[in-house]
A and B are shown apart, each in its own frame.
Chain A
Amino acid sequence: MKPKKSYNPGDMRPVNKVILYVLLYGGVLLFAFPLFWMLSTSLKTIAEIHRVPMTWFPGRLQWSNFRQIFIDAPLGRFLWNSVWYSAVTVAAVVFTSAMAAFAFARLRARGSLLLFGLVLSTMMIPSQVTLIPQYLLFTKLHWTGTYLPLVIPAFTASSFTIFLMRQFYLGISKELDEAVKIDGGGQFTMFFRILIPLSKPAFATAAILELISRWNDLFGPLIYLNDMNKYPVSLGLANFTAAYGATPWNLLMAASLVAILPLLLIFFFAQKYFIQGIVITGSKG
């Protein structure tokens, strides 16, 4: 296979180059502005945010806003709930999906293609279709009001993650499998000794995509949880203003910032996997 030279338009006239830079860097300012504004508002006083004409930066940084929000609402509790809930579900989804993906990519069995067809077709079904019977099932089991309806299904893999991991496994050479077989190892050795160590990037990618959706999800917690002490940060934040009369935008922005900060931090440390994940899922369409 000869290496394919990829297209990368390089030479352009200086004028065009200037326009390009202005567009791209200007565009980035627009994209990043909302997050800047969140930060700026979160450090202002309530008088400052209602000042006309408005100010771009806070006069004196009101770090006390960040102390205040933890007093006004059990934000620490919400964050902790989100952390353990995301950690457990992400680990569960990724591991069980990796197992299924390994089976679909590597093991021969009758009906395997048909079953994989089922995996693919369930990816297309909107969650609203299964929502109501699931809710009724969990009500019958007396699981509502607890995290069980949100956590237990995570132990049964996700079709999207299975698909993503299978794509990755298909790219790993089968010669290693043969080597394991010759050494007398079985399928479990193959999975734990070869595929798991080799597919760390796939694990990271799948975990991060799952984490984003779990952390941001409002719908699930909204339906199943009713005790405020159990709220994850998404639902807790949605109810944050309930304690106040008029919306204290500075406090609300401070709380919003705290709610997304963990995700942003993880993003900046592991951005390679974020982007990889998006690319894998997108380019195979």
Chain B
Amino acid sequence: MSKRTLAMKREERSFWIFIAPWFIGFICFTGGPILISLLLSFTEYNVISSPKFTGISNYLLLFKDRLFYKSLSVTLYYTVLAVPFTILTSLVIAVLLNHRIKGQSLLRTLYYAPSIVSGVAVSFLWSWLLNPQFGVVNSVLYDCFGIQGPGWFTSSGTVVPSMVLMQLTASGSTMVIFLAALQSLPADLYEAASIEGASGFTKFRKITVPLISPVILFNTIIGMIGALQIFTEAYVITKGGPDWNSYFYVYYLFDTAFKQFRMGYASAQAWILFLLIFALTLVSLWGSKKYVHYEYDSK
């Protein structure tokens, strides 16, 4: 082993000084809590009395818990709808915007703007837009087409699709990522394809999609992780209803932990969510291997 010089020691000391805030936070607020959360998931703990070790009984209970399955299934239903629709909408807009058109940067701004506001205000806005009686959507449907609009957030069948629809107007941030990826694509391939007489759609399918496939994969994974953790919209608009049909996974976890104070059970729920996210991410990475191309690295 080579002897370390004074300068190297000094550099190493600075390194630790610079990462100290992160490192302390990692121990206190991330790493430590992860371990404690795992331990808690094997206990019964109501905050007042001390935790009681119960082995894997929380997990066994979860697998028999009907509300667990209900919340898991509505969350997966939401994810399966929201992620592909968001990806598709934002990709289509990005591809259209990537043409030489007047007002390109203004359009980009306008498409992007709605996605920066989210949460409570937007949830109220959508619950008003889709209000079955006085909402603008149903009013237009009735006044212009004579159609009696659906109950949207107030009916079991349409509550999740309504949440997906609300999510679509936030596609702007995904769109911006796609647009950046599209703008870095090499022109020569497209020129070659044009000489061969390829149509616009063929070029899109055979050149664009393969070349931006890593970006599609990235957005899918990020979108999926976000969708699985949906909470605010349901908390503000539906309170999990009607009939538990928007009682998303994190909502159930929130109630378990902070309404019922069953910290052990809630920790087990959190770990199942973590494992689910981890597994789905691995599956996406592994399952997409055949379709994702990394040859054209645009750096």
Chain A interface (Cβ within 8 Å of chain B)?
4-10, 12, 20-21, 23-25, 27-28, 30-32, 34-35, 37-38, 41, 49-50, 52-54, 96-97, 99-100, 102-104, 107-110, 112, 115, 118-119, 122, 124-137, 139, 153, 155-157, 159, 162, 186-188, 191, 212, 216-219, 222-223, 234-235, 237-238, 249, 252-253, 256-257, 259-260, 263-264, 267, 271, 274-275, 278-279, 281-283, 285
| Contact A217 B119, CB 8 Å, known A28-B111, A256-B124 | yes
- From B53-61, B73-81, B152-160, B250-258, the one touching the partner chain is B250-258
Point out the residues of chain B lying under 8 angstroms from A285, CB to CB. Answer: 214-215, 217-219, 221-222
Set B28, B120, B218: member contacting A238, Cβ < 8 A: B120
Across the interface, name the chain A residue whose C-beta is closest to B14. A187
26 contacts between A and B (CB under 8 A): A9-B190, A12-B99, A24-B107, A27-B111, A28-B107, A37-B129, A38-B128, A49-B134, A99-B18, A99-B19, A99-B21, A100-B18, A119-B22, A125-B34, A126-B228, A132-B37, A132-B263, A156-B24, A162-B22, A186-B10, A191-B18, A234-B121, A259-B121, A267-B113, A275-B109, A283-B184
Q: Return the contact of B15 from the options A109, A188, A235, A253 (Cβ within 8 A).
A: A109
Q: Compute how far the CA of A25 lies from the CA of B104 in the bound complex, rounded to whole angstroms.
A: 10
B228 contact set on A, CB distance < 8 A? 126
Q: Which of A27, A136, A219, A282 has the most CB of B within 10 A?
A: A282
Contact (Cβ within 8 A) B19 A136: no
| Chain B residues positioned under 8 Å from A132 (CB to CB) | 33, 37, 40, 257, 263, 266-267, 270
- The reply to whether B26 and A122 contact each other, CB–CB distance below 8 Å, is yes
For A219, the closest partner residue in chain B by CB is B231
Contact partners of A96 in chain B: CB under 8 A: 21-22, 25
Assess whether B215 is in contact with A103, with CB atoms less than 8 Å apart. no
Q: Is the CB of A53 within 8 A of B253?
A: no
**Residue B100, interface by CB 8 Å:** yes
Contact between chains at A108 and B33 (CB < 8 Å): no
Set of chain A residues within 8 Å of B187, measured between Cβ atoms: 5-8
B85 within 8 Å of A by Cβ?
no
Which of B29, B33, B119, B124 contacts A253 (CB under 8 A)?
B124
Is B177 located at the chain interface by the 8 A CB criterion?
yes
Residue B82 at the chain A interface, CB threshold 8 Å: no
Pair A126/B277 contact, Cβ less than 8 Å: yes
Interface size on B, residues (CB 8 A): 107
Q: How far is the CA of A196 from the CA of B124 in the complex (A)?
A: 40
Q: Which of B26, B110, B188 contacts A31 (CB 8 A)?
A: B110
B36 at the interface (CB under 8 A from A): yes
Given contacts A20-B99, A100-B18, A125-B274, contact A283 B181 (CB under 8 A): yes
Q: Does B8 contact A (CB under 8 A)?
A: yes
Tell me whether A188 and B14 are in contact (CB under 8 A). Answer: yes
Q: Which 10 A-B pairs have the closest CB atoms?
A: A156-B25, A285-B218, A282-B177, A133-B33, A103-B18, A109-B15, A216-B119, A256-B121, A187-B14, A130-B33
Give A28 to B270 CA distance when docked, in angstroms.
Answer: 39
CB pair B236–A32 under 8 Å, yes or no, is no
Q: Which residues of chain B from 23 to 54 have a CB within 8 Å of any chain A CB? A: 23-26, 28-34, 36-37, 40, 47
Please tell me if the beta carbons of B270 and A131 are within 8 angstroms of each other in the complex: yes
Q: Per-residue CB proximity of B172-186 to A under 8 Å, as 1/0?
A: 111011001111111
B112 touches A274 (CB 8 A): yes
Instruction: Annotate B269-297 by CB proximity to A: 1 below 8 A, 0 otherwise.
Output: 11101100110010000000000000000
Nearest-neighbour CB distance to chain B for A123, whole angstroms, equals 10
Closest to A239 in B: B120
CA separation between A213 and B274, bound complex, in Å?
Answer: 21
Complex interface: chain B residues within 8 A of A278 (CB): 112, 173, 176-177
CB proximity of B132 to chain A, nearest CB, Å: 13
Closest to A28 in B: B110
A282 touches B180 (CB 8 A): yes
CB-CB under 8 A from B176, the residues of chain A are 275, 278-279, 282
Q: How far is the CA of A25 from the CA of B122 in the complex (A)?
A: 22
Chain B residues whose C-beta falls within 8 Å of the C-beta of A34 in the assembled complex: 114, 122, 125-126, 129, 169
Q: Is A31's CB under 8 angstroms from B111's CB? A: yes
Contacting residues, chain B, for A252 (C-beta < 8 A): 124, 128
Q: Which residue of chain A lies nearest to B133 when distances are taken between CB atoms in the complex?
A: A50
- Contact A279 B177, CB 8 Å, known A4-B186, A238-B235, A263-B117: yes
- Judge whether B83 is part of the interface by a CB distance below 8 angstroms: no
CA distance A153 to B22 in the complex (A): 9
A136 and B184 alpha carbons, distance in the complex (Å) = 48
Nearest-CB distance from B163 to chain A (Å)?
Answer: 14
Query: A119 to B22, alpha carbons, bound, how many Å?
Result: 9
B125–A253 CB distance below 8 A: yes
In the bound complex, do residue B134 and residue A274 qualify as a contact, i.e. CB atoms below 8 Å apart?
A: no
Residues of A within 8 A of B16 (CB): 109
C-alpha gap A35/B180 in the complex (Å): 26
The 8 Å CB contact of B108, one of A9, A102, A122, A275, is A275
Q: Please determine whether B136 and A37 come into contact, CB atoms closer than 8 angstroms.
A: yes
- B22 partner residues in chain A, CB cutoff 8 A: 96-97, 99-100, 119, 156-157, 159, 162
Q: How far is the CA of A186 from the CA of B7 in the complex (A)?
A: 10
- Say yes or no: A134 contacts B33, CB within 8 Å: yes
